Amino acid sequence: MTPLATLAADLAARRTTGRALVEAALERIGDPDGEGSRVMLSVFANGARAAADAADALRAAGVRLSPVAGIPVSVKDLFDVAGMATTAGSVVLKDAPPATADAPVVARLRQAGAAIIGRTNMTEFAYSGLGLNPHYGTPRNPWDRATGRIPGGSSSGAAISVTDGMAAAAIGTDTGGSIRIPASLCGLTGFKPTARRVPTAGVWPLSRTLDSVGPLAPTVACCAVLDAIMSGVDPVIPAPLPLAGVRLAVPLTLVLDAVEPYVAETFAVTLSRLSAAGARIHEIPFAALAEIPAVNARGGIYAEAWAVHRRQIETARDRYDPRVAARILRVSNMSAADYYDVLRARERLIAEADAITTPFDAVVLPATTLAAPPLAPLEADDDLYVRINALMLRNTFCFNFLDRCALSLPMHRRGEAPCGLMVVGETLGDTRLLAVGRAVEAALAA
């Protein structure tokens, strides 16, 4: 995987062309021995070639371009693309009316010159952290294709499009962890911004309160560039903070429970490396985290998913992934009063969490409690699926519920199972988080 900055430098120096990058991506998508058929639900070959050719022509004319101009980028299947139905990884929406316009984030990427290569597979309606899709197949994790392991979800195809060279970067969504989980399991960097910073218009919703749009890419700097473009600001990459003296909080409440030994050991080694690089590690109680599962025990904030699906599922339930339908129906009897209680509890817990984390530069914890498990047992056993899905989502969801921005950075040793370090910032503290993330990334690469 090549960082966007390296690709941009190669393009500027005429060592490659946008057209060559797009053709290479299309070749990987079309490889009959690869994952392309399970990763890409739509391929925009002609449009991507046209965008790359336009960028190449402007560069040849001496025009200074954006850092993504001519570079292939994939988008998740729940983003509107003008002239196409938005299917959200489902067969239910195959005959939906075509979108009349691109989603704003897609439009902003196009305006920056990105070559939108296609739309990627996902968990149906973005409602699982595992990445399984019975309609279109499940992309296999690049770490252990012989076994056949899950990619993580819901932005499953987004992750594999980057690891397998079908795109230089991918745009996904994150409601409960759907960017950071596949980033963690596949060895990528994933960035979930503070939800309100990037527009979600033209994006099929799951929870309008929690939905956020962000990138999966090789580095923090790549994520910063894409986040800036989608946020509508100049793509300036925050300089890394000096790690010496940076205060990192490690919650001792909930998020380290039931973490598999491999991930726990990798996290402990990571903390030691950060400490050796000068970071100050503080283990802290974090009572607000312990309340979040109870607040959402009956479905909680995901009552918003029932609001989105309630009419459609009445007429098309037999066409849904049964596991997705079961999760949606679980909150069908939740009252307005119960939902109101969840929102008020969320306000209280956000305030409590803010008071706990204000003295620190970031919170750090394992992004996922386990490395990627094999796919076949999860396909065969509903109870196992439910248990592993809940465990996979637990750590990431907590900080979505608390309205935070967060990164997942690779923390595993080369050749071992990928697992991610989650670095959490303050609400709307995205720029500072990216600066901290760059410092952490550099220390772990040393």
Q: Which residues of 19-35 are buried (b: 16+ CB within 10 A; e: fewer)?
A: bebbbebbebbeeeebb
Active site residue 335: no
**What is the per-residue pLDDT across 61-96, written as a single tens digit (0 to 9) for each?**
999 999 999 999 999 999 999 999 999 999 999 999
Residue among 66, 90, 128, 154 flagged as catalytic: 154
DSSP-derived secondary structure letter, 78:
T
The model's pTM: 0.97
Judged against a pLDDT cut of 90, whether residue 299 lies above it is answered with no
Q: What whole-number distance in Å separates Cα of residue 79 and Cα of residue 59?
A: 29
Judged against a pLDDT cut of 90, whether residue 369 lies above it is answered with yes
pLDDT band at residue 1 under the 50/70/90 scheme: very high
Give the residue numbers spanning the domain of 324.
1-446
Active site residue 66: no
pLDDT band at residue 412 under the 50/70/90 scheme: very high
Return the pLDDT at 59: 97
Return the pLDDT at 298: 86
Q: Is 307 helix (H, G, I), strand (E, B) or coil?
A: helix
Q: Nearest-CA neighbor of 396 among 186, 254, 198?
A: 254
Q: Where are the alpha helices (DSSP H) in 79-218?
A: 104-111, 156-163, 180-186
Mean pLDDT along residues 37-50: 98
pLDDT more than 90, % of the chain: 99
**What is the per-residue pLDDT across 319-360, written as a single tens digit (0 to 9) for each?**
999 999 999 999 999 999 999 999 999 999 999 999 999 999
Return the pLDDT at 175: 98
pLDDT more than 70, % of the chain: 100
Q: Look at the alpha carbons of 255, 398, 366, 406 in this order and tell me if their dihedral is positive or negative.
A: negative
Q: Which residues of 287-317 are buried (b: 16+ CB within 10 A; e: fewer)?
A: ebbebbeebbebbbbbbbbbebbeebbeeee
Judged against a pLDDT cut of 90, whether residue 57 lies above it is answered with yes
Give the Cβ contact number of residue 50 at 10 Å. 14
Mean pLDDT of the chain: 97
DSSP calls for 2-15: --HHHHHHHHHTTS
- Residue 94 is part of a domain; what is its CATH number? 3.90.1300.10
Number of domains within the chain: 1
Q: Nearest-CA neighbor of 307 among 415, 209, 219, 174?
A: 209
Beta strand pairing status for 189-192 and 406-410?
antiparallel
Residue among 74, 76, 184, 207 flagged as catalytic: 76
DSSP-derived secondary structure letter, 302:
G
Mean pLDDT along residues 106-114: 98
Residues 6+ apart with CB under 8 A from 315: none
Structure tokens at 186: 């596949």
Distances in Å between the alpha carbon of 297 and those of 153, 302, 330, 338? 21, 10, 11, 11
Judged against a pLDDT cut of 90, whether residue 431 lies above it is answered with yes
Residue among 74, 90, 161, 178 flagged as catalytic: 178
Judged against a pLDDT cut of 90, whether residue 446 lies above it is answered with no
Angle at alpha carbon of residue 236, lines to 235 and 237, rounded to 5°: 115
Q: Are 180 and 193 in contact (CB under 8 A)?
A: no
Q: What are residue 420's DSSP bridge partners? A: 410
Mean pLDDT along residues 11-20: 97
Q: What are residue 360's DSSP bridge partners? A: none
Residue with tokens 């929870």: 207
**What is the per-residue pLDDT across 214-226, written as a single tens digit (0 to 9) for each?**
999 999 999 999 9
Active site residue 178: yes
Structure tokens at 37: 């058929």
